Structure 1
Amino acid sequence: MSTETDESAALAPIAERAAAPAAVTVPTAGNLTWRPATREDVPVWLALRNLIARADAEPYVETAEEIEEIFDGAWRDMTRDSLLGFDADGTLVAWGYVASPPGDVTLVRAFTWGGVHPDRRREGIGRELLAWSIGRARQMLAESGKDVPARIAVFAEDNSPADKARLYERAGMQVRRYYSDLARPLAGPDAAPVPEVALSGSLRLAPWSEAFDEAARLAHNDAFRDHWGSQPQTREQWAERAGFAPQWSFLVVDDAPDVDALLASPDTDPETAAALRAGEPLVVGYELAGHYPEDFAVRGYSFGYTDILGARRAYRGRKAALAALAAGMRAFAADGMEYAALDVDTANPSGAHGLYASLGYTKTTGSRMLSIEL
């Protein structure tokens, strides 16, 4: 288990640790006009984000659906959590956005994102925009009222411009975690066979369906409870899944769980316990996939992407996650995808790296998370 909960007992209140400014300072560099983002800005915001992605050789592009989804969550306040900078001609030059997931329990986090048009870099815009983002993040953490360890974080690709890494480091952010994006061919001489996975006892592989989605959320929260930096997802967070491919997603269900044993276990969380008492289905493993055709040209091949994969801790060792993953890989191949892809925390405690290597996955790109720990 993480030590974050143990550490919270010795921490000062979050309102004190966050050191939140009474008001965030809007950038002045670059002589830009700043205002919050609105849904009507999605087209120009998308265009700028993808222009930056191309300039920085990022291994993906954004979609309008992904940006529009940001405006759907009632837990966000985009009037305070976003900032767009326009030049005198009304062209979007820079953007910033901060989010604090509502489901955080033992660690409260605020994530920052942003970017500056490549032609307007080295004017101080990025530095001041990051300062605004960190200030807003501090406000979010203070307002959460959650007296637990806190984190202000940003993600960066390993091949990001060196100036970006220095910008984060000068702001007091340090590298805390590394991630690898993996892929494996699904056909051809280099493709390892997809394993046939037999499930034992009352475990059953099933295609994803809306009827099992809440049970899958509960399984995910249990599976990732001992993963570094992970926190439970609320129903609203779970519903945000731009690019979700239900036809490529699979679940493993226990049709006859030992309810008494699970209820007696201290590892069974309250939401799962309530679902068991109500006779709800028990998902014990899952593979939820995404379809991102806009990225095919960037990567140079078509692929199906496993967004999240896991198994309940009480069911580890029973191949539930492997069975779901293999089913997803077969579905990718059946639809003509050339590769299967996913990403993994390099220090994943479940031995995922070894599993993926045995299935023929190899690293294609990498990223890292930098943070200020409070």
Structure 2
Amino acid sequence: MKVALVSSGSGSRGGGELYLRVLAQGLMALGYDVLVLIPDHPRMDEFATQMGAIPTRRFAFCTTYDRPTRALGAWADLRQRRRLTGLFATLDVDVLHINQQVAEDALDLVLAAAASGKPWLSTIHVGHAARDLGARLGGLRDRVTAHVLGRLRGHHIAVSTATCQQLTARLGPVTLHPVPNGVAVPDPDALTRARAQARADWGVDDDTIVLGTVGRIAAQKAPLALVDHTAATGQTGVQLVWIGDGDLRDSLTARAAKASLPLHVDGWRDDAALRLAGLDIFVLPSLFEGLPLALLEAMHAGLPIAASRADGIAEALTHPVTGLMCDSDDDWRDALQRLITDQALRLRLGAAARAAAEDRFSAAAMARATADLYAQVQR
């Protein structure tokens, strides 16, 4: 079977786009012919390079994120929709798979896929409404999204049960399939080497407890909470590390300096899934999520985890077996204090997290479940 995976062009570093690379690799391992279509916007250049041996094709596309009114502009751009329909119709593929970060993302790609006459489906990562996230014209954007997707009555993958429930409440007569995200299972020896290298690069010794995370330094990820919750423990001999970068980097750095906590911002790295092995505690205080790849990578790395209960995070972790879930500032203080001071707890939680990830969140399992859906949409 030949499959086209279509990026919506949100950026080269977000887990919602990196999902396409993981899925492509998993499908190719199953014997599928895969083509990844990537918008020609410069912010996607790095993503295209990351594809390596995966076949790719760039295409002209004004993304939802480049439009002031987001979904409204994408929906109204009939010229682009006609051009995309023509592109999809000429592709020598059996299934079109559109990647949507949120439901309003890439409505033009979805409409073009439906008009092309080819079997299609989409993945939606985050189920929250634009209005709930405080977006400009959020209510109108949500109504247009519900109208478009409801009228098409297509098939959509939701990456978590929480996302599925949120979308069901909003979109009406669409067919939703919960397929959890997955990531590659890392080699244990590679993790050991990566841990030693990371800690050497960060200048920390074996006695220093390193707390950190992976991702964009952006409001969604609540980066300042990493500092505040760590400072609240009153523990010394700790180091904070953020693997990634983003708009709130200066604010994060200033907050850590004010709290007298050492912070290292590692920047974006292609080896982040291995690099995080240098951490002793993985911290994820996100305000909302789908099912974050960084969390699954931390689980596979055998890290103890403290996290918010946001959306799919609460499905991946079982409190207090595979991680410590936090609802309040007191929860965060107590969870981090326990993890910093109790090595046995860290080892126990990390081992349980790794076992759960290997059982539920592998790239191979995600690819198999997605391939089953391709067969359904072709009928």
Q: Which interval holds the TM-score relative to the shorter structure?
A: under 0.3
Which is helix-richer, 1 or 2? 2
Q: Normalising by the residue count of structure 2, what TM-score does the alignment of the two structures yield?
A: 0.27
Q: Which structure is higher in strand share?
A: 1
Q: Which has the higher contact order (CA 8 A, sep 6+)?
A: 1
